[in-house]
Amino acid sequence: MAEITASLVKELRERTGAGMMECKKALTENDGDIQAAADWLRKTGLAKADKKASRVAAEGRIAMAQAPGKAVLVEINSETDFVAKDANFLAFTEAVAQAALDAGDVDALKATKLGGGESVEETRSALIAKVGENVQVRRMARMDSGNTIGAYVHGGRIGVLVEVKGGNDELARGLAMHIAAMNPPYVSPAHVPADFVAREKEIALAQVKDSGKPAEILEKMISGKIAKTLAEISLTGQPYVLDTNITVEAALKAAGGAEVLSFVRLAVGEGIEKQADDFHAEVMKQAGLA
């Protein structure tokens, strides 16, 4: 069999626009014959895959997998919600999430082999050719712990992992549901950064300094305002979504003094700048007038 050199792979990639791994596979399948490899890529549709890579993929799905002592979330993006509901896309996300249980990061995940023997990256490129949209394995979050891990995905759009010391699986899942719904930035008031607290105190002082009240009363007013603010942005201070008559802190105490150690929340497309379609410009471009 002919040697598959880096320069040969590079040349095929430049000719076809396919990914590096796809080019290497094409050359291997065709004994190093670059023309036959290029034809093979065109026949399989992989030559078109990388040409879609510049398109914004801000839709998609959060997939979850869990095993004893560990759980993982993976965000996989598509260009449209339509493809995010496609059976091929859904099967891919489930397979990738399972593979992520044994992957340390996204780069390692992309190289992980799936059940069919192809890597996540190879399978992704094949999926692009099949669904006709850019698909990206964007990020993952995992927890490995001897404590209880709650995992929850809401509608494929929001995923949460939460580590709880004490309590049980039911409590951990309920907390994950709460975090999905309320999106608290911090676990408790003690986790809120000092500079944020200092800024809030400065604002509160400015709001009451002209009230004419004695200094000790002002101090109590400011302390009350700060405590209310910190409760609102902390998981433990919020009303528990499964029983709004109590706070999350009270729910933890009722569960034998359970403690939330950490959590992570992923939402589809957060942080991705979505491209607004300019239909006038598109029509002018299609008409050759732009």
pLDDT of residue 201: 85
What is the CATH classification number for the domain harbouring 12? 1.10.8.10
Q: Based on the domain organization, do 97 and 171 belong to the same domain?
A: no
In a domain, 212, yes or no: no
Question: If you search the block for the tokens 């859904």, which residue do you land on?
Answer: 90
pLDDT digits (tens, 9 = 90+) for 99-121: 999 999 999 999 999 988 999 99
Q: Based on the domain organization, do 114 and 104 belong to the same domain?
A: yes
In a domain, 197, yes or no: no
Q: Based on the domain organization, do 65 and 152 belong to the same domain?
A: no
Judged by DSSP in three states, 136 sits in: strand
* Rounded Cα gap, residues 209 and 190, in angstroms: 26
Question: If you search the block for the tokens 């490995």, which residue do you land on?
Answer: 144
Question: If you search the block for the tokens 């692009």, which residue do you land on?
Answer: 128
For residue 234, what is the DSSP state?
B
User: What average pLDDT does range 7-13 have in this prediction?
Assistant: 85
In a domain, 104, yes or no: yes
Q: Based on the domain organization, do 262 and 162 belong to the same domain?
A: yes
Q: Based on the domain organization, do 131 and 151 belong to the same domain?
A: no
pLDDT digits (tens, 9 = 90+) for 50-62: 556 656 668 999 9
Q: Identify the band that residue 48 occupies on the pLDDT scale cut at 50, 70 and 90.
A: low
Helix (H) or strand (E) holding 256: none
pTM here is 0.75
pLDDT digits (tens, 9 = 90+) for 183-239: 999 999 999 999 989 988 888 888 777 777 787 888 888 888 899 999 999 999 999
Task: Supply 172's token pair.
Answer: 């951990």
Q: Based on the domain organization, do 251 and 132 belong to the same domain?
A: no
- Specify the number of domains making up the chain: 3
Helices 120-131/87-100 angle, 10° precision: 170
pLDDT digits (tens, 9 = 90+) for 259-274: 999 999 999 999 876 6
pLDDT at residue 244 tops 60: yes
Q: Based on the domain organization, do 156 and 260 belong to the same domain?
A: yes
User: What average pLDDT does range 26-42 have in this prediction?
Assistant: 87
In a domain, 205, yes or no: no
In a domain, 132, yes or no: yes
What is the CATH classification number for the domain harbouring 161? 3.30.479.20
Q: Based on the domain organization, do 129 and 64 belong to the same domain?
A: yes
For residue 230, what is the DSSP state?
H
Q: In the chain, what percentage of residues exceed pLDDT 70?
A: 89
* Rounded Cα gap, residues 225 and 205, in angstroms: 10
| 97 and 139 Cβ atoms separated by less than 8 Å | no
Helices and strands in the chain, H and E counts: 12, 8
pLDDT at residue 283 tops 50: no
Task: Out of 15, 32, 52, pick the residue that ends a domain.
Answer: 52
Q: Based on the domain organization, do 125 and 241 belong to the same domain?
A: no
Positions of E strands within the chain: 59-67, 70-78, 136-144, 148-154, 158-165, 239-240, 243-247, 259-267
In a domain, 273, yes or no: yes
Residues of the domain holding 272: 147-192+233-290
Question: If you search the block for the tokens 């029983």, which residue do you land on?
Answer: 243
Q: Based on the domain organization, do 45 and 139 belong to the same domain?
A: no
Q: Based on the domain organization, do 281 and 243 belong to the same domain?
A: yes
